[in-house]
Amino acid sequence: MNYFPNYYSIEDIFVTQEKVECRVNTKLQRMGFLDSGADTDDLEPGRTVNLPLWYIKELKVNNAYFTVSVPEIYRNVHKAVCEAETTHIELGRLHPYFYEFGRYLTPYDRNHTLRQRVRHLLDISKSDGQAAKAEHRLDNIEAKLHEAGVRTNSQYIEWLQMTGNKIRTSVLVEEHQKKRRRADRSDDEGETRHTKKVASMSSPLAMYTRESFSRMVLRMLRSETNGVENSIMNISRK
C-alpha cells in the first residue's frame, strides 16, 4: 500500500475518489448496494458498476471479482489525437486530474499506451508552462506548473527592477480583511467598526534597542537615499 506523495495529500485523496467502471466477474454476495440499478442483495456477474479508485487500489490487478476497464480518455482514439497535435487537446476537460488518475490506472492498461502518453504529455506541459492559457485546457498538474512558471517570472522581473524588498501585507491577512469588509458591508452600514489592537508588540521590538543610537543618527538623514543610509550604517557599526 503506497500513498503518493504522502498519506495526508488532499490532492491524492481527490484523485482516488474518482469512479472507474468495472465489470463483475463472480457472484458477490450482499454487495448489491454497489449497483444502483440492481434490485437484489447480491451482485450478479456481468454487471458493470462504478467503483471508487480507493477500493480498486486495494485489490490486486488480476483479482477474481472485478475487471477494470480503462476509461475512454486513455484509449487509443485519444492517443492518436494526442500524438498528432499534442498541445491541442483540452486536457482539463477530459479529466481535471489527468496525469494522477492515469498513474493509478497504468497497471490495468495492457497496451501500455498510457505510459507513453503520460511521458509524452509531460514534455509538452513543461514547454508551454509560461504561456497564458484558458483554464479548462490544463489539467491539475499543468495548472500548477503554469502557476509556478508565472510566479517565478514575476519574481525575476521584480528582482531586476529592485522592487522585491517591499514589504507586503500577507496574503492570509488580505483575504481575511476582504472577508471582513464584505461582512461589514452586508451588516449595518452605520455601525462603527472596532479596530483591533495588536497586543504584545513589545517583545519583538525589545531586541533592537542596542541599535537605536545609530538609528537616531540616521533619522536626521532621513531624506537621504538608501545607499547613503547603508554606508552610514556600516560606518557607525565599525
Partner 1 sequence: MSRSNKLFGDKAFDLLKELERSSQTIPAFDDDGVRQVLEEIKAIFEENVAQASTYNASGDRSLWPLLNFRHAALQRNKRCLLAYLYERCKRIKALRWEFGPIIPGDIKQSLCEPEVHFFNNYSKSLAAYMCSAGYNQGLPIDLTNNLRPPKSLYIEVRCMEDYGKFELDDGEVIHLKKNSQHYLPRAQVESLVRQGILHHIA
Number of CB atoms found within 10 A of residue 20's CB:
20
Q: Would you state the torsion angle of the CA atoms of residues 143, 147, 149, 155, taken in this order, to the nearest 10 degrees?
A: 180
Q: Which is nearer to partner 1, 190 or 204 (CB)?
A: 204
Give residues in contact with partner 1 (CB under 8 A).
Answer: 3, 7-10, 13-14, 16-17, 28-31, 33-34, 36, 41, 52, 54-55, 57-59, 65, 162, 164-177, 179-180, 183, 195-201, 203-210, 212, 215-216, 218-219, 222, 226, 229-230, 233
Q: Report angle CA 94, 96, 98 to the nearest 5 degrees.
A: 70
Q: Which is nearer to partner 1, 127 or 230 (CB)?
A: 230
Q: Specify the residue for cell string 497496451.
A: 111
The CA distances from residue 69 to 56, 193, 206, in Å, are 11, 59, 66
Helices (H) and strands (E) in the chain, counts: 11, 3
Q: Which is nearer to partner 1, 46 or 204 (CB)?
A: 204
How far apart are CB 231 and partner 1 at their closest, in Å? 11
Q: Specify the residue for cell string 486495494.
A: 58
How far apart are CB 52 and partner 1 at their closest, in Å? 7
How far apart are CB 177 and partner 1 at their closest, in Å? 5
Q: Which is nearer to partner 1, 76 or 169 (CB)?
A: 169
How far apart are CB 95 and partner 1 at their closest, in Å? 17
